[in-house]
Amino acid sequence: MNANLVLIPGDGIGPEIIGSAAEVLRIISRKFNHTFSMKEADAGGCAIDRHGVPLPDETLKACLESDSVLLGAVGGTQWETLPGHLRPERALLGLRKELGLFANLRPVKLQKVLAAASPLRQDITDRGVDVLIVRELTGGLYFGERGRGEGSMGPYAYDTERYSVEEIRRIGVVAFEAARKRRKKMCSVDKANVLESSRLWRETMHVLKQEYPDVQYSDMLVDNAAMQLIRDPSQFDVMVTSNLFGDILSDEASQLTGSIGLLASASLGKGKCGLYEPIHGSAPDIAGKGVANPIATILSAAMMLRMSFDLAQEADAIEAAVEAVLEQGYRTGDIAAGGLSVGTKEITEKIIEALEA
């Protein structure tokens, strides 16, 4: 097949980890006879420096015309004092919104060989950690009306959480469909004991669940869900939740696997084009040192092949290569638990060796 990909390295460790994923994609294209044309584009802090805005028009245009986008990470301390609309993170939010990517899929799976890197007790990890977090991505508090003003108690600021039935329904459909392909359990997470938007969320999910009698459905309040993820993550299969709750719970859940450096994500909309990215940030503290863990980005490329291009065999090959390298004992610093570690280049080479074996 032929696919036009846009690669957005972004900031911090972004260029290093995207470099690794691009190498893996080149090997896959050679091995399986595909043509992936890869075009790089600027977004985030580097785009602010080069073009004055976090999401330049030509980047957005390239993404809109592409078959899928692979992104490293955006952000860094040097841009933290810029006004909200000029911060690197705006690039990500702009891409999600403009590409209509309302569904964010974040699989959280603990690999057996990494059980020691998980902060959970072994009797808990023995029960397994394999959760798919489905996060609503283009609505809620991230995109609601916001502002500042002057009140009787001085200056104030506000953000609003607003969800329509249709926004809730379509993310619910993505989650139910995903549950059908997994262990057929879905937990919808909200704060319906306090928030009106959560009450509409829950009502809408309850209507939708009638269409999925084969999926075992439950509701959970977000504070309890945060606790249950630590107490017994094996109770969860698919979790579906709002933009803000999903942001928080997915970082929490990532730790169960030992490192956020392993977790991939897909952001999808109505069509096949998606945005794939590791769920971690730009890690400015280790940028340029050659020690970043590229696995989350490499696994994001695998997700892209599977979900946007229906290349299951190719995606399986990448996932198996990563697993093999971890089984051989190779670790980057974040998952080495104080033991020996290798750098970004070395682990990428090992993954490529495993792919070619």
Least Å distance between CB 339 and Mg ion? 28
**Mutual orientation of helices 312-327 and 295-307 as an angle, nearest 10°?**
160
Q: Does residue number 16 form part of the binding site for ligand IPM (CB under 6 A)?
A: no
- Set 163, 247, 330, 334: catalytic member: 247
- Set 223, 232, 310, 316: catalytic member: 223
17 binds, among Mg ion, ligand IPM, none (CB under 5 to 8 A by kind): none
Interface residues with Mg ion (CB under 5 A)?
247
Number of other residues whose CB lies within 10 A of the CB of residue 30: 10
Strand, helix or coil at 46?
helix
Least Å distance between CB 328 and Mg ion? 31
Write the DSSP assignment of 218-267 as a string of letters.
Answer: EEEEHHHHHHHHHH-GGG-SEEEE-HHHHHHHHHHHHHTTS-GGG-EEEE
Alpha-carbon torsion (87, 91, 94, 96), positive or negative: negative
Least Å distance between CB 81 and ligand IPM? 16
Q: Applying CB under 6 A, which of residues 11, 190, 247, 314 lies at the interface with ligand IPM?
A: 247
92 binds, among Mg ion, ligand IPM, none (CB under 5 to 8 A by kind): ligand IPM
Q: Give the amino acid at 247.
A: D
89 binds, among ligand IPM, Mg ion, none (CB under 5 to 8 A by kind): ligand IPM
Q: Distance between CA 268 and CA 275 in Å, rounded?
A: 7
Q: Distance between CA 275 and CA 272 in Å, rounded?
A: 10
Q: Please give the C-alpha separations between residue 31 and each of 4, 297, 318, 356, in angstroms, as whole numbers.
A: 18, 20, 12, 8
Select from 75, 73, 120 the least CA-distant residue to 292: 73
Under 8 Å between Cβ of 26 and 33? no
Least Å distance between CB 84 and ligand IPM? 11
Q: Does residue number 92 form part of the binding site for ligand IPM (CB under 6 A)?
A: yes
Is 251 known to be catalytic? yes
Number of other residues whose CB lies within 10 A of the CB of residue 186: 26
Tell me the residue nearest to ligand IPM as measured from the CB.
Answer: 89
Select from 112, 32, 24 the least CA-distant residue to 323: 112
For ligand IPM, the closer of residues 249 and 354 by Cβ is 249
For Mg ion, the closer of residues 237 and 247 by Cβ is 247
Under 8 Å between Cβ of 139 and 167? yes
172 binds, among Mg ion, ligand IPM, none (CB under 5 to 8 A by kind): none
What is the contact mask toward ligand IPM in residues 277 to 316, using x (rule: CB under 6 A)? --x-------------------------------------
Report the site for ligand IPM in 167-196 (rule: CB under 6 A): none
User: Judged by CB under 6 A, how many residues of this single chain contact ligand IPM?
Assistant: 5
Least Å distance between CB 11 and ligand IPM? 11
Residues 6+ apart with CB under 8 A from 175: 134, 186, 188, 238, 240
Is 142 known to be catalytic? yes
Tell me the residue nearest to Mg ion as measured from the CB.
Answer: 247
Q: Does residue number 262 form part of the binding site for ligand IPM (CB under 6 A)?
A: no
Q: Does residue number 89 form part of the binding site for ligand IPM (CB under 6 A)?
A: yes
Is 112 known to be catalytic? no
Least Å distance between CB 279 and ligand IPM? 6
Footprint on this chain of ligand IPM (rule: CB under 6 A): 75, 89, 92, 247, 279
Give catalytic residue positions.
142, 191, 223, 247, 251
